Structure formats: structure tokens, C-alpha cells
Amino acid sequence: MLNRFPLWKNLMVALVVIIGFLYSAPNLYGEDPALQVTAARGVEVQVDTLDKIKSVLEQHQLPVKSAVLEKGQILVRFNNTEDQLKSKEWVSQALGEQFIVALNLAPATPDWLTAIGAGPLKLGLDLRGGVHFLMEVDMVEAIAKSQDQLVQDFRTELREQNLRYSGVRRESDSVVISFRDSDVQQKALAELRNKHRDLELTDREVNGQYQLVAKLTEQRIKEIKNYALEQNITIIRNRVNELGVAEPLVQRQGSERIVIELPGIQDTARAKEILGATATLEFRMVDDTADLQSAAAGRVPANAQLYTTREGRPVVLQKRVILTGNHIVDAKSGSDEYGRPQVSISLDSQGGNKMSTFTKDAVGKSMATVFIEFKPEGEPGPDGKRKFRKHEEVVNVATIQSRLGNNFRITGIDNVQEAHNLALVLRAGALIAPIQIVEERTIGPSMGQQNIDSGLRAMALGMGVLVLFMALYYRKFGLVANLALCFNVVLLVGIMSMIPGATMTLPGIAGIVLTLGMAVDANVLIYERIREELRNGRSPQQAIHLGYERAFGTIADSNITTLITAFILFSVGSGPVKGFALVLMIGIASSMFTAITGSRAIVNLLWGGKRLNDLSI
């Protein structure tokens, strides 16, 4: 029979619409202004911390919607932003610098919706507010790290070739190798020139010493800088993902700077801590032959270096680095068999081979884990930049019990939160060079709300005009198109809410408005075709059937060409352009479903299988 869907197709349409309603429903509940409290390095958020926060808020008579301790952090929800802002100042004063107190917006989605994975739309920086950073990479340190690596490489290569040298050191913009014999110097020159064609190697004689001077070429320096910038961008993206920020913007600006936009973050403290962390690890052998008292007095062996533990205890380590954090591919925090915090490390194949080769003959000896990070200090100079201080401390000294490979663990960490933060930074990668913030902007939620209100007004106005036009021009069929249009909006919002990382921006709202017009356009094509079939003498049932069938090809062609354009925009665009393209692609798919299948299902239910003399179209 014409214009009757089988039961399965009606059930499919109903199921899609129900799922769309369920997953778009969280957007009706909004978000609560919240205070997020996390621990700085070296402390831990505990139940007594939560009790202290509650006591402070009660003392200042601030009503709290809820306050919970979950996953090592405290989330306090408030009824309005005024209470939220007041609480931040008082809680920060009460907890001190050991805790990071940040403003946030927490979804107010009911538990029964959260249980099925439903959540509100992720809003972009222009709608939700957030923070904008402009960060600059310290290229001087990036070049210095490359030169330090050359020092290690030269020592290894010369030892492998049995070429005796008296010293290898870095001097400003070059690496100097000293020899006692000119023949050895020339042999070393030939060997190193063969292996390092991107270096400028020259020989010289200074105060009876024969030296080789290695300098990086301009091309090599350019490559180092570009690599440092690109790697830092990749690592920052990984860290942003660890922070759980939806659809962030991380992109290059010029030759030394990175732009970062984090929607929804209202306080920069936590973001700064994770994004700017330059933490990495080095594994070195303990020099058991060194005298600690002599080393502490300044008499350190030539091939060793003095370090201290967090408790201030001196430790003498060999200068040779067994392995660096660059070979770490995964790091997970947890607890050992005694319940003490630990970080489990996984190395890449090259790192695993290095660790295995070195520890094969070192069973029973002590190996230290050195934690390294760069911290800015002092006031910015005339160029607006601050100097970085290299902070090193031994976090763990352990006896090698057996030959190590790709997986091992480090202990000696103060608490679970510190282990978690260290694992996060190591898992995301160590920054190739330190970065510092040269510009910082916070976009408040009030400005974002104004953009939302303006966008919703534009969408409501556009939809209102479309609904009125369709109802007046196509009468009852126009009402069907309007109902399908409402389903289209619900479905679009539901799909956007379901996709991980999908973000709604102001251009995205423009994409919704454009989608509404395209959805109505499909119904206009169908209805005009039905009218044409009626004028050609077809019966109402035949006209409906042929109208949907023959208009489908035209609708599909026009939508596919638009889909291709949207896909290209999504592929090559970034930020707002990408958000617009994503909404447009989803809107095209949902509009074709609602305009063709959805509206046809409603038309079939109303008019299908009935004897009709005319149509209200």
C-alpha cells in the first residue's frame, strides 16, 4: 500500500527521536558555578581539607549546593556566581599556597542522564568564557640541550673508537674537545666529520692542548628551533587532553610562540601548573666511591656531580646519564604492595634497550631517579622575558635487583596526588624547552552568556520566520515540516552532545541557523514536487509517493556538495572555522533524516492508506 512505512521503520524513527531528546536534555539543566580545589606538588587533598573548606564557608554564611571529594580533588557547587567569587578569596586564604583553588563551571546534569553517558554541549571560548595564553619557547635552552646531547654523543663515539681525550665541554655557542696528542686530534676530526655532517668542525691549538671546536650550522639551529616548537605544541595538546578541556585551540604563532585557548577554565592556576611544567626524569648511577663529606665541601670527583634529595640529603651521582625522560611512552600512578605511592614507567624500544644493556652489569648497584624542572624566577627583563632556573632533586635511590627492561617503577614519592601529577606530565611528554607566558587573557562567563543570548535570539528569529512561512504557504504539510524542523534541532544538539570533543561556538550557532534553512529547503522541494504531481492529474496518494521519491535525487545532490565543502573546511580549518564545519556536517545528515524520513513518517501516519480527495498543501 502506498505511503505506509513498515513497523520497523516507524520504530526506528521513534527510537532516533527519543535518543535525540535524551541526549539533548542535559542542556536544559545548565551548569553550576563551582570551586575546584586540587593539591599543589608535595601535598594531598584529604577529608580534613574538605571539612576545613566547609567550616570557612559556614563561618561566612555562604550557602553551598554540594561539596564532594572525588578523584583527589574537591568540587564545591554554589547557587550563583556571586557566592562562587566570594568563596574563592576566603578558601584561598584559609588553605594557603599548598592548594590550587580554581573557579569552574560544573554540569548540573541529573545522575540518571549521566548514567547513560549524556552530558551538556561543550561550549567554546566565545560562548563559555575561559583563558587565552600566548606562550614563548625558550630557544636558547633548546639549543643548549642539543649541545649537551652533543657532549654525551662525542664522549660515547670517541670511547668506541679508542680515541683518548682529556675533556669535552660546552662553551657558549660551541662544544670543545681537548686532546694531548695531535695525531689523535686529527683522527677524531676525521671520525666526527664523517658522523656529524651538520656541524662546523675546526681544529686549533691552545696553551699546548690540541682541541676540536664543534659549532651548529645555521640550518641545524633552524631545525632545532622548529623541532622544539612543533614538539612543544604536540606535548601541550597532550597535556590539554589530560586536563579534560573540550575542543581547545593550540596552534603555532610565528617562529617561537604558541597560542592556547582553554574554554571553560575560569582560573589560570591549574592550567599554568600543568601546561608550563617542564618536568622530566634522568636516571643516573650513584657514585658509591665518592666521599659525601668531601663532596658537600665542594670536592666532587671530575666524573660526578653533587645532588640533594627532597629532604636535603646529599647524593653523588655519575655525570653519565643512563636514560632521559624522552624515551618514556607511558606513566601511570598507583601504589606498591605496601600502599605507598609509585609511578610505573614504560619505555620505548630504544629506551628499553639502553636500560637493559646498562643494568645487565649493574645488578646490586644503586641507581637514582633525578626529577628536573625549569622554574621562572625574578622580574621580567627589558624584553619582557623572565629567566629560568633549573631545579633538580633526587626523588628515588634504589638498588638494582635484576636486569631492567621496558617497564619498571619509581617510588619515594610523597603522596598520591604528586604521583598523579608526575605521571600526567611524563605521560604527556617533557617539553623540549621551557616556555613562559607572555600574554594571558581571561574571558568571563558573562561575555560568553551575551554571545549565547545573541546567538539564540538569531536562531529563534530565523526559526520563527521559517515556521510562519511554512505554516502559511503549505498549510497542514507546512506544520509537518515545522515538526520535523524541531526534531532536527533536537537531533543536532543531541549528536553534538554525544560526540567527544565536539564544541559549540558562535560560528557553530550560525551553522545551526544555516542547517534550519537547508532542512526547510528539502521540504520545499518535496512539497513543490507533490503540487506538480497533483497538477499532472495524479491522485493525492500517488502525488505524495512520487513527490518524496523524485525529489530525493535533487536533495541528495545539493546536500552532498555542501557536505564536501564542509568536510574540506573541517580538514583545513582551525578553531571557530572547524566548529562551524562540524555543526554543518552533522546538520546536513540530521536534516536529510528529518526532512525525508522523519517528515515522511508523520505524513504516512496522517494521510497514508486513506482515501483522499485533496491535500492541504
324 versus 603: the higher-pLDDT residue is: 603
**Distance from C-alpha of 456 to C-alpha of 468, rounded to nearest angstrom:** 18
The correct answer on CATH 3.30.1360.200 for the domain covering 278-430 is yes
155 versus 330: the higher-pLDDT residue is: 155
Span 452-481, mean pLDDT? 87
Write down the pLDDT at residue 608. Answer: 81
377 three-state secondary structure: strand
C-alpha 487: how far from chain center: 33
Which residue's entry shows cell 653519565?
A: 320
Span 462-490, mean pLDDT? 90
Q: What is the CATH number of domain 7-26+444-607?
A: 1.20.1640.10
Q: Are 377 and 388 in contact (CB under 8 A)?
A: yes
Kindly report which listed range (49-63, 247-261, 520-534) carries the lowest average pLDDT score: 247-261
Write down the pLDDT at residue 166. Answer: 87
Q: Are 345 and 395 in contact (CB under 8 A)?
A: no
**Closest of 568, 587, 569, 586 to residue 578, by C-alpha:** 569
Task: List, by residue range, all CATH 3.30.70.260 domains of the chain.
Answer: 31-107
Q: Residue 40 — very low, low, confident or very high, per pLDDT cuts 50/70/90?
A: low
Kindly report which listed range (29-33, 189-193, 470-474, 480-484) carries the lowest average pLDDT score: 29-33
Task: List, by residue range, all CATH 3.30.1360.200 domains of the chain.
Answer: 278-430
Q: Residue 388 — very low, low, confident or very high, per pLDDT cuts 50/70/90?
A: low
- Cα-Cα-Cα-Cα dihedral of 495, 501, 503, 508, to 10°? -70
Give every strand in the sheet of 199-206, ordered side by side. 167-171, 174-179, 209-216, 199-206
pLDDT digits (tens, 9 = 90+) for 60-79: 888 888 888 887 788 899 98
Write down the pLDDT at residue 19. Answer: 92
Span 232-237, mean pLDDT? 80
Task: List, by residue range, all CATH 1.20.1640.10 domains of the chain.
Answer: 7-26+444-607
Span 390-399, mean pLDDT? 79
Q: Are 331 and 422 in contact (CB under 8 A)?
A: yes
- Asked if residue 154 has pLDDT above 80, the reply is yes
Q: Residue 322 — very low, low, confident or very high, per pLDDT cuts 50/70/90?
A: confident
**Distance from C-alpha of 443 to C-alpha of 422, rounded to nearest angstrom:** 29
- For CA atoms 531, 534, 538, 540, the dihedral sign is positive
b or e along 224-259 (b: 16 or more beta carbons within 10 Å of the residue's beta carbon)?
A: bbeebbebbbebbbebbeeeebbbbbbeeeeebbbb
The correct answer on CATH 3.30.1360 for the domain covering 140-219 is yes
DSSP strand pairing (174-179 vs 280-286): unpaired
583 three-state secondary structure: helix
- Asked if residue 103 has pLDDT above 80, the reply is no
Fold for 31-107, please state it. Answer: Alpha-Beta Plaits (3.30.70)
- Asked if residue 377 has pLDDT above 70, the reply is no
